[in-house]
Chains A and B, each alone.
Chain A
Amino acid sequence: MTDDPIADDEILYRRVLDGRDHYTVQNDGTIRVSSQAFYESGFRPSVDRAKLRDNDPKKTLGTFSGGVASLVTHDVRSIAPIVQNDEKGHFVQLCRVNVEYMPILNDPVEPDNDAHAEIYTNPPCNKRVFRKLIEKLALLANARPWEIKPYIKP
Protein backbone atom coordinates (compact mmCIF):
# COMPACT_ATOMS: atom_id res chain seq x y z
CA MET A 1 0.00 0.00 0.00
CA THR A 2 1.18 3.49 -0.76
CA ASP A 3 0.39 6.80 0.90
CA ASP A 4 -2.81 8.62 0.02
CA PRO A 5 -5.29 6.41 1.87
CA ILE A 6 -8.75 6.02 0.43
CA ALA A 7 -11.37 8.14 2.17
CA ASP A 8 -14.69 6.61 3.16
CA ASP A 9 -16.65 8.86 0.82
CA GLU A 10 -14.63 7.98 -2.27
CA ILE A 11 -16.36 6.35 -5.21
CA LEU A 12 -14.79 3.23 -6.69
CA TYR A 13 -15.31 2.21 -10.31
CA ARG A 14 -15.46 -1.40 -11.44
CA ARG A 15 -15.33 -2.27 -15.13
CA VAL A 16 -17.92 -4.87 -16.18
CA LEU A 17 -16.99 -6.31 -19.54
CA ASP A 18 -19.24 -7.47 -22.35
CA GLY A 19 -19.12 -11.05 -23.53
CA ARG A 20 -18.72 -12.60 -20.07
CA ASP A 21 -22.37 -12.74 -18.97
CA HIS A 22 -21.46 -10.65 -15.98
CA TYR A 23 -24.72 -8.74 -16.12
CA THR A 24 -28.30 -9.65 -16.92
CA VAL A 25 -31.25 -7.68 -18.21
CA GLN A 26 -34.27 -7.98 -15.91
CA ASN A 27 -37.90 -8.04 -16.97
CA ASP A 28 -38.30 -4.33 -16.21
CA GLY A 29 -35.36 -3.52 -18.48
CA THR A 30 -32.90 -2.70 -15.70
CA ILE A 31 -29.49 -4.28 -15.85
CA ARG A 32 -28.30 -6.29 -12.88
CA VAL A 33 -24.62 -6.87 -12.28
CA SER A 34 -23.60 -10.40 -11.37
CA SER A 35 -21.35 -11.24 -8.45
CA GLN A 36 -19.05 -12.80 -11.05
CA ALA A 37 -18.21 -9.33 -12.31
CA PHE A 38 -16.14 -9.03 -9.11
CA TYR A 39 -14.52 -12.46 -9.27
CA GLU A 40 -10.73 -12.47 -9.38
CA SER A 41 -8.48 -15.45 -8.81
CA GLY A 42 -6.35 -13.62 -6.27
CA PHE A 43 -9.50 -12.77 -4.26
CA ARG A 44 -8.67 -9.05 -4.50
CA PRO A 45 -11.08 -7.35 -6.92
CA SER A 46 -9.57 -4.37 -8.72
CA VAL A 47 -11.30 -1.03 -8.73
CA ASP A 48 -10.37 2.48 -9.78
CA ARG A 49 -10.54 5.44 -7.44
CA ALA A 50 -12.97 7.74 -9.20
CA LYS A 51 -11.25 10.90 -8.04
CA LEU A 52 -8.02 9.76 -9.68
CA ARG A 53 -9.95 9.14 -12.90
CA ASP A 54 -11.26 12.72 -12.83
CA ASN A 55 -14.64 11.22 -11.82
CA ASP A 56 -14.91 10.08 -15.41
CA PRO A 57 -15.94 6.40 -15.66
CA LYS A 58 -15.08 6.44 -19.38
CA LYS A 59 -11.45 6.50 -18.30
CA THR A 60 -12.02 3.25 -16.40
CA LEU A 61 -13.78 1.60 -19.32
CA GLY A 62 -11.08 2.78 -21.71
CA THR A 63 -11.17 1.00 -25.04
CA PHE A 64 -13.06 -2.00 -23.64
CA SER A 65 -16.73 -2.61 -24.31
CA GLY A 66 -19.10 -3.04 -21.41
CA GLY A 67 -20.19 -0.90 -18.51
CA VAL A 68 -18.85 0.63 -15.33
CA ALA A 69 -20.46 -0.07 -11.96
CA SER A 70 -19.53 1.76 -8.80
CA LEU A 71 -19.22 1.30 -5.04
CA VAL A 72 -18.76 3.69 -2.15
CA THR A 73 -15.70 2.93 -0.06
CA HIS A 74 -17.59 3.31 3.20
CA ASP A 75 -20.17 0.74 2.05
CA VAL A 76 -17.45 -1.75 1.21
CA ARG A 77 -15.81 -1.24 4.59
CA SER A 78 -19.21 -1.64 6.25
CA ILE A 79 -19.62 -5.21 5.03
CA ALA A 80 -19.85 -7.29 8.19
CA PRO A 81 -16.77 -9.46 8.81
CA ILE A 82 -17.19 -12.78 7.03
CA VAL A 83 -16.64 -15.98 8.98
CA GLN A 84 -14.20 -18.47 7.54
CA ASN A 85 -14.71 -22.04 8.70
CA ASP A 86 -12.67 -25.15 8.05
CA GLU A 87 -13.95 -28.16 6.12
CA LYS A 88 -15.71 -29.48 9.23
CA GLY A 89 -17.49 -26.19 9.80
CA HIS A 90 -15.33 -25.12 12.71
CA PHE A 91 -14.52 -21.45 13.10
CA VAL A 92 -11.15 -20.42 11.70
CA GLN A 93 -11.16 -16.65 11.46
CA LEU A 94 -13.14 -13.49 10.80
CA CYS A 95 -12.27 -11.74 7.55
CA ARG A 96 -12.73 -7.97 7.58
CA VAL A 97 -13.25 -6.17 4.31
CA ASN A 98 -11.27 -3.13 3.26
CA VAL A 99 -9.97 -1.26 0.24
CA GLU A 100 -6.38 -0.19 -0.34
CA TYR A 101 -4.65 1.93 -2.88
CA MET A 102 -2.43 -0.15 -5.16
CA PRO A 103 -1.28 1.96 -8.11
CA ILE A 104 0.12 -0.07 -10.97
CA LEU A 105 3.40 1.28 -12.27
CA ASN A 106 5.90 -0.47 -14.52
CA ASP A 107 4.19 -3.85 -14.17
CA PRO A 108 5.45 -6.40 -16.75
CA VAL A 109 1.87 -7.32 -17.71
CA GLU A 110 -0.59 -4.66 -16.60
CA PRO A 111 -0.64 -1.17 -18.04
CA ASP A 112 0.12 1.66 -15.66
CA ASN A 113 -2.91 2.69 -13.63
CA ASP A 114 -2.41 5.40 -11.06
CA ALA A 115 -6.04 5.04 -9.89
CA HIS A 116 -5.88 1.32 -9.16
CA ALA A 117 -7.09 0.04 -5.80
CA GLU A 118 -8.02 -3.38 -4.49
CA ILE A 119 -10.78 -4.71 -2.27
CA TYR A 120 -9.36 -7.30 0.10
CA THR A 121 -9.96 -9.06 3.38
CA ASN A 122 -7.81 -9.02 6.45
CA PRO A 123 -6.66 -11.68 7.09
CA PRO A 124 -6.60 -12.98 3.48
CA CYS A 125 -9.62 -15.19 2.86
CA ASN A 126 -10.18 -18.50 1.15
CA LYS A 127 -12.39 -19.10 -1.89
CA ARG A 128 -15.55 -19.77 0.08
CA VAL A 129 -15.33 -16.47 1.93
CA PHE A 130 -14.47 -14.68 -1.28
CA ARG A 131 -17.60 -16.06 -2.96
CA LYS A 132 -19.66 -14.52 -0.16
CA LEU A 133 -17.79 -11.23 -0.43
CA ILE A 134 -18.52 -10.83 -4.14
CA GLU A 135 -22.23 -11.42 -3.52
CA LYS A 136 -22.15 -8.46 -1.12
CA LEU A 137 -20.22 -6.35 -3.61
CA ALA A 138 -22.81 -7.12 -6.30
CA LEU A 139 -25.61 -6.10 -3.93
CA LEU A 140 -23.83 -2.81 -3.25
CA ALA A 141 -23.22 -2.18 -6.94
CA ASN A 142 -26.83 -2.98 -7.81
CA ALA A 143 -28.05 -0.48 -5.23
CA ARG A 144 -26.39 2.29 -7.23
CA PRO A 145 -27.01 3.47 -10.75
CA TRP A 146 -24.55 2.37 -13.42
CA GLU A 147 -21.82 4.91 -14.09
CA ILE A 148 -21.84 3.64 -17.65
CA LYS A 149 -24.64 1.31 -18.57
CA PRO A 150 -23.71 -1.59 -20.86
CA TYR A 151 -25.18 -1.27 -24.31
CA ILE A 152 -28.02 -3.74 -24.81
CA LYS A 153 -29.13 -4.47 -28.33
CA PRO A 154 -32.81 -3.54 -28.75
Chain B
Amino acid sequence: MPHTIEHTWDNRCALISDDAIKGVNSVNEEFLQRMRGSIRSFYNSSLIAREAFAKEALNDILTKLHKLLTWSTDKNGYMPAPEHAVVSYAENWLIRLFLEVADLGLPWIKPNVTANTDGEVVFEWWYGRRKLTIYIDDQCAEYVQVWGADIDAAVSDGDAKSTDVCQSLWIWLIS
Protein backbone atom coordinates (compact mmCIF):
# COMPACT_ATOMS: atom_id res chain seq x y z
CA MET B 1 0.00 0.00 0.00
CA PRO B 2 2.62 2.65 0.89
CA HIS B 3 4.52 1.75 -2.27
CA THR B 4 1.41 2.39 -4.34
CA ILE B 5 0.93 5.80 -2.72
CA GLU B 6 4.51 6.88 -3.37
CA HIS B 7 4.40 5.65 -6.90
CA THR B 8 1.20 7.52 -7.62
CA TRP B 9 2.54 10.68 -5.97
CA ASP B 10 5.60 10.53 -8.22
CA ASN B 11 3.25 10.45 -11.18
CA ARG B 12 1.45 13.56 -9.94
CA CYS B 13 4.76 15.41 -9.50
CA ALA B 14 5.80 14.44 -12.98
CA LEU B 15 2.81 16.33 -14.33
CA ILE B 16 4.31 19.65 -13.35
CA SER B 17 8.00 19.06 -12.93
CA ASP B 18 9.33 18.55 -16.43
CA ASP B 19 8.22 20.70 -19.34
CA ALA B 20 6.50 23.28 -17.16
CA ILE B 21 9.71 24.27 -15.41
CA LYS B 22 11.82 24.80 -18.51
CA GLY B 23 12.77 28.45 -18.90
CA VAL B 24 11.07 29.74 -15.76
CA ASN B 25 12.56 32.47 -13.59
CA SER B 26 13.02 32.29 -9.83
CA VAL B 27 9.58 33.82 -9.11
CA ASN B 28 7.90 31.22 -11.23
CA GLU B 29 10.06 28.56 -9.65
CA GLU B 30 8.83 29.60 -6.24
CA PHE B 31 5.26 29.57 -7.54
CA LEU B 32 5.76 26.08 -8.91
CA GLN B 33 7.22 24.88 -5.61
CA ARG B 34 4.12 26.18 -3.81
CA MET B 35 1.89 24.59 -6.39
CA ARG B 36 3.64 21.25 -5.93
CA GLY B 37 3.19 21.59 -2.20
CA SER B 38 -0.50 22.29 -2.65
CA ILE B 39 -0.97 19.35 -4.94
CA ARG B 40 0.92 17.09 -2.56
CA SER B 41 -1.21 18.31 0.32
CA PHE B 42 -4.42 17.86 -1.69
CA TYR B 43 -3.38 14.43 -2.86
CA ASN B 44 -2.40 13.26 0.63
CA SER B 45 -5.67 14.49 2.11
CA SER B 46 -7.52 12.76 -0.70
CA LEU B 47 -5.73 9.49 0.17
CA ILE B 48 -6.59 9.95 3.82
CA ALA B 49 -10.21 10.57 2.87
CA ARG B 50 -10.28 7.45 0.69
CA GLU B 51 -8.80 5.35 3.46
CA ALA B 52 -11.27 6.80 5.96
CA PHE B 53 -14.11 6.01 3.57
CA ALA B 54 -12.90 2.41 3.24
CA LYS B 55 -12.50 1.99 6.98
CA GLU B 56 -16.02 3.28 7.53
CA ALA B 57 -17.45 0.92 4.92
CA LEU B 58 -15.45 -2.03 6.26
CA ASN B 59 -16.07 -1.20 9.90
CA ASP B 60 -17.71 -4.49 10.92
CA ILE B 61 -15.16 -6.57 9.01
CA LEU B 62 -12.22 -4.69 10.51
CA THR B 63 -13.75 -5.13 13.95
CA LYS B 64 -13.87 -8.88 13.32
CA LEU B 65 -10.32 -8.77 12.05
CA HIS B 66 -9.03 -7.02 15.18
CA LYS B 67 -10.98 -9.43 17.33
CA LEU B 68 -8.71 -12.20 16.05
CA LEU B 69 -5.98 -10.65 18.20
CA THR B 70 -7.92 -11.64 21.31
CA TRP B 71 -8.10 -15.30 20.36
CA SER B 72 -6.56 -17.55 22.97
CA THR B 73 -8.10 -20.21 25.09
CA ASP B 74 -11.85 -20.39 25.30
CA LYS B 75 -14.37 -23.06 26.18
CA ASN B 76 -13.46 -24.83 22.95
CA GLY B 77 -9.76 -25.00 23.70
CA TYR B 78 -6.69 -23.15 22.52
CA MET B 79 -6.65 -21.19 19.28
CA PRO B 80 -3.54 -19.07 18.74
CA ALA B 81 -4.13 -15.44 17.84
CA PRO B 82 -2.36 -14.13 14.74
CA GLU B 83 0.45 -11.64 15.30
CA HIS B 84 -0.25 -7.89 15.26
CA ALA B 85 1.87 -7.51 12.13
CA VAL B 86 -0.25 -10.09 10.32
CA VAL B 87 -3.52 -8.40 11.26
CA SER B 88 -2.09 -5.04 10.28
CA TYR B 89 -0.97 -6.35 6.88
CA ALA B 90 -4.36 -8.01 6.41
CA GLU B 91 -6.14 -4.74 7.20
CA ASN B 92 -4.08 -2.80 4.67
CA TRP B 93 -4.55 -5.52 2.07
CA LEU B 94 -8.31 -5.55 2.55
CA ILE B 95 -8.60 -1.75 2.42
CA ARG B 96 -6.57 -1.69 -0.76
CA LEU B 97 -8.76 -4.37 -2.32
CA PHE B 98 -11.92 -2.53 -1.29
CA LEU B 99 -10.71 0.70 -2.90
CA GLU B 100 -9.69 -1.11 -6.06
CA VAL B 101 -13.12 -2.73 -6.28
CA ALA B 102 -14.72 0.68 -5.73
CA ASP B 103 -12.52 2.24 -8.42
CA LEU B 104 -13.58 -0.50 -10.83
CA GLY B 105 -17.22 0.23 -10.03
CA LEU B 106 -17.79 -3.40 -9.03
CA PRO B 107 -19.97 -4.67 -6.19
CA TRP B 108 -18.33 -5.48 -2.87
CA ILE B 109 -19.00 -8.70 -0.99
CA LYS B 110 -18.27 -9.04 2.70
CA PRO B 111 -15.69 -11.74 3.40
CA ASN B 112 -15.69 -14.35 6.11
CA VAL B 113 -12.77 -13.52 8.40
CA THR B 114 -10.89 -16.13 10.35
CA ALA B 115 -7.38 -17.29 11.20
CA ASN B 116 -5.67 -20.65 11.18
CA THR B 117 -3.34 -22.47 13.52
CA ASP B 118 -0.34 -21.27 11.52
CA GLY B 119 -1.15 -17.69 12.49
CA GLU B 120 -2.40 -16.66 9.07
CA VAL B 121 -5.43 -14.41 8.61
CA VAL B 122 -7.88 -15.91 6.14
CA PHE B 123 -10.50 -14.05 4.08
CA GLU B 124 -13.12 -16.06 2.23
CA TRP B 125 -15.65 -14.97 -0.39
CA TRP B 126 -18.31 -17.08 -2.04
CA TYR B 127 -20.21 -16.03 -5.14
CA GLY B 128 -22.38 -18.63 -6.81
CA ARG B 129 -20.18 -21.59 -7.61
CA ARG B 130 -16.97 -19.64 -7.13
CA LYS B 131 -14.95 -19.24 -4.01
CA LEU B 132 -11.91 -17.10 -3.29
CA THR B 133 -9.74 -17.67 -0.24
CA ILE B 134 -6.91 -15.32 0.70
CA TYR B 135 -4.19 -16.32 3.16
CA ILE B 136 -2.23 -13.49 4.73
CA ASP B 137 0.86 -13.56 6.89
CA ASP B 138 2.99 -10.59 7.87
CA GLN B 139 4.52 -10.13 4.46
CA CYS B 140 2.56 -11.89 1.79
CA ALA B 141 -0.92 -12.64 0.54
CA GLU B 142 -1.75 -15.78 -1.40
CA TYR B 143 -4.97 -16.90 -3.00
CA VAL B 144 -6.81 -20.14 -3.67
CA GLN B 145 -9.67 -19.98 -6.14
CA VAL B 146 -12.28 -22.70 -6.57
CA TRP B 147 -14.61 -23.10 -9.55
CA GLY B 148 -17.47 -25.49 -8.99
CA ALA B 149 -19.41 -26.96 -6.14
CA ASP B 150 -18.46 -30.61 -6.21
CA ILE B 151 -15.43 -32.85 -5.95
CA ASP B 152 -14.46 -32.10 -9.55
CA ALA B 153 -14.19 -28.39 -8.86
CA ALA B 154 -11.08 -26.76 -10.32
CA VAL B 155 -8.71 -25.28 -7.79
CA SER B 156 -5.76 -23.02 -8.43
CA ASP B 157 -3.56 -20.78 -6.35
CA GLY B 158 -0.98 -18.03 -6.53
CA ASP B 159 0.37 -14.80 -5.13
CA ALA B 160 -2.19 -12.08 -4.33
CA LYS B 161 0.12 -9.18 -3.59
CA SER B 162 -0.06 -7.15 -6.77
CA THR B 163 -2.89 -4.81 -7.67
CA ASP B 164 -3.37 -6.44 -11.06
CA VAL B 165 -3.81 -9.90 -9.59
CA CYS B 166 -6.26 -8.66 -6.94
CA GLN B 167 -8.35 -6.91 -9.57
CA SER B 168 -8.36 -9.99 -11.78
CA LEU B 169 -9.37 -12.19 -8.87
CA TRP B 170 -12.28 -9.93 -8.02
CA ILE B 171 -13.47 -9.71 -11.60
CA TRP B 172 -13.25 -13.50 -11.82
CA LEU B 173 -15.17 -13.92 -8.55
CA ILE B 174 -18.15 -11.80 -9.46
CA SER B 175 -18.33 -12.61 -13.17
Residues of A within 8 A of B (CB): 17-22, 24, 32, 34-36, 39-41, 64-66, 75, 78-80, 82, 127-128, 131-132, 135-136, 139-140, 142-143
B56 within 8 A of A: no
B173 within 8 A of A: no
**Given A36-B116, A36-B124, A41-B117 in contact, is the A66-B76 Cβ separation under 8 Å?**
yes
Q: List residues 100-154 of chain B with CB under 8 A from any CB of chain A.
A: 112-114, 116-118, 122, 124, 126, 131, 133, 135, 142, 144, 146, 148-153
Contact B144 A135 (CB under 8 A): yes
Lowest 3 A-B CB distances belong to which pairs? A21-B114, A39-B116, A17-B76
A residues less than 8 Å from B39 (CB atoms):
none
Q: How far is the CA of A128 from the CA of B118 in the complex (A)?
A: 13
Q: How far is the CA of A3 from the CA of B116 in the complex (A)?
A: 32
Number of interface residues of B (CB under 8 A): 29
B77 within 8 A of A: yes
Contact A34 B112 (CB under 8 A): yes
Q: How far is the CA of A20 from the CA of B114 in the complex (A)?
A: 6
Q: How far is the CA of A18 from the CA of B135 in the complex (A)?
A: 21
Q: How far is the CB of B87 from chain A (nearest CB, A)?
A: 14
Chain B, residue nearest A21 (CB): B114
Chain A, residue nearest B122 (CB): A36
Residues of B within 8 A of A (CB): 64, 74-77, 79, 112-114, 116-118, 122, 124, 126, 131, 133, 135, 142, 144, 146, 148-153, 155, 157
**Given A36-B122, A40-B117 in contact, is the A24-B112 Cβ separation under 8 Å?**
yes
Q: Per a CB cutoff under 8 Å, which of B114, B126, B133, B155 touches A136? A: B155
A residues less than 8 Å from B76 (CB atoms):
17-20, 64-66
Q: How far is the CB of A125 from chain B (nearest CB, A)?
A: 13
**Given A34-B124, A36-B114, A36-B122 in contact, is the A139-B150 Cβ separation under 8 Å?**
yes
Contact A135 B131 (CB under 8 A): yes
Contact A131 B77 (CB under 8 A): no
Q: Per a CB cutoff under 8 Å, which of A22, A65, A135 touches B114? A: A22
Q: Per a CB cutoff under 8 Å, which of B114, B151, B153, B157 touches A131? A: B157
Q: How far is the CB of A88 from chain B (nearest CB, A)?
A: 13
Contact B112 A64 (CB under 8 A): no
Chain A, residue nearest B155 (CB): A132
Q: Per a CB cutoff under 8 Å, which of A22, A64, A132 touches B144? A: A132
**Given A34-B112, A35-B133, A136-B155 in contact, is the A143-B74 Cβ separation under 8 Å?**
no
